[in-house]
Structure 1
Amino acid sequence: MATILHLDASARPGRSDQSRFGSHSRRLTARFIERWQAARPTDTIVYRDVGQSPPNPVTGRWIHAAFTKPDQREPWMHEVLAESDRLVDELIGADLIVAGVPMYNFGPPAQFKAYIDNIVRVGRTFGFDRSRAGEPYWPLLAGQGKRLIILSSRGDYGYGKGERIQHLNHVEASIQTAFKYIGVTEVESVAAEYDEFADERLQASLAQADAKVDALVDRLLPTTMQSEAA
């Protein structure tokens, strides 16, 4: 069995296929999970809604605690890092991470940035040794076969590779940078556009994104089964 970590970061609480003002990214992640579960009902789904229940932002006390060696931490340090530890444990236990991350002002929502800041942890997801020859930083989740799926939505259009405003898209690139830094290098993405236009172009983009999500699930399912058989 595989474990899937399902993350939603939208500030909108509902899904756009169920509610007029629902989230498009939640729609896409739900579609992915539902199609996956239809094929693999015994897989474990771990759900975390960082959009509605965002992690606490990193503070000076958090940094102090995180960069103190575990055997030297005071009780308050363990308390400060408790939420981060839970998030890291979920990530470490996941084979597949499905993240719904809409574009807010050209980047991910602040809620998802808080999540990133909590899971990029020295000693847990990346190593650091200033005396190490060569690169002092290294990923701790490398070689574990983890895969990240980013399902996004955008108000404008043309943010894709080679398109008119690709240079303004800081969603997928920033997320990939953080996850690759800790060792999750297999990344796939799908996005819907035209949300602010709210016309037939939005509907066409959503239909196309739905189809891409279906195709992505169908492509990944055999790979998952092959890795388990091996």
Structure 2
Amino acid sequence: MKLLHIDASALGAHSVSRGLTSAIVAEFVANHPDVEVTYRDVHAEPLPHWALPAGEDDPQAAEGARVMEEFLTADVVVIGAPMYNFSISSSLKAWIDRITVAGKTFRYTATGPEGLAGGKRVIVASSRGGIYSAGSPAAAMDFQEPYLKALFGFLGVTDLEFVRAEGVAMGDDHKAQAIGGAVAGIGGLLRKAA
């Protein structure tokens, strides 16, 4: 089994999403000792925003090919996706731009687009300072999880799950409760895989 671990938070050791992705990956490693983990921190080592490559020797084209290969060969993808300004970080968007490529992860057909990257499991560790889940007063401002659902659905991924800690900026008690609830849900995700 190959697992691709993506972190995108700018908060380093203070990041909730990084803590959640680490916990998810640790559980996978504990339950599947043969898992091969590839790690990419798109904040610490950001990808440049997408531009038309200057040719085969363009370093951006070579790095884009590596990013694509990591994604396509992964059986499981664990993504840390903190909510920034109601959406995702620009560093995560730059990674997404490298994996969303016509002819590689999707194609257009006479009946509409078809995802080509199915057959993998994607788990998103979502962290939010406020509360944006369905039914909350701020739910209409959630452009993070709906975007990721639409994007991975477009790529053909049908096994997409979220581990969410929200309200983490609403006081220490609320933060601890949100993180505890998210971590408690991680075991259930892995039992589902067994």
TM-score (ref. length: structure 1): 0.79
Q: Which residue of the partner structure matches residue 140 of structure 1?
A: 116
Gap change, CA 1:82 and 1:168, over 3 Å in 2: same
In the TM superposition, 1:62-101 aligns within 5 A as 62=53, 74-76=55-57, 79-101=59-81
* Aligned: 1:173 with 2:155: no
Query: For the residues of structure 2 that align with 1:51 and 1:209, how far apart are their CA atoms?
Result: 23
Q: Which residue of the partner structure matches residue 123 of structure 1?
A: 103
Whose strand proportion is higher, 1 or 2? 2
Q: Percent identical across equivalent pairs?
A: 34
Gap change, CA 1:126 and 1:37, over 3 Å in 2: same
* Aligned: 1:8 with 2:7: yes
Query: For the residues of structure 2 that align with 1:31 and 1:133, how far apart are their CA atoms?
Result: 43
1:43 to 17, 32, 35: 35
Q: Higher Cα Rg: structure 1 or 2?
A: 1
Query: For the residues of structure 1 that align with 2:110 and 2:166, how far apart are their CA atoms?
Result: 45
SS at 2:12 equivalent: coil
Residue-by-residue CA offset, 1:165-188 (whole Å, 9 max, x unaligned): 211111111112111111112110
After TM superposition, where is structure 1 displaced by more than 3 Å over at least 4 residues in a row? Answer: none
Q: Which consecutive unaligned segments of at least 5 residues does structure 1 have?
A: 15-21, 66-73, 223-230
Gap change, CA 1:75 and 1:42, over 3 Å in 2: closer
Pairwise CA RMSD: 1.6
Query: For the residues of structure 2 that align with 1:75 and 1:114, how far apart are their CA atoms?
Result: 20
Pairs aligned (count): 194
Q: Which residue of the partner structure matches residue 109 of structure 1?
A: 89
* Aligned: 1:52 with 2:48: no
Q: Which residue of the partner structure matches residue 153 of structure 1?
A: 127
Q: Which consecutive unaligned segments of at least 5 residues does structure 2 have?
A: none
Out of 79-88 and 31-40, give the one that drifted further. 79-88
CA drift of 1:161 comes to 2.2
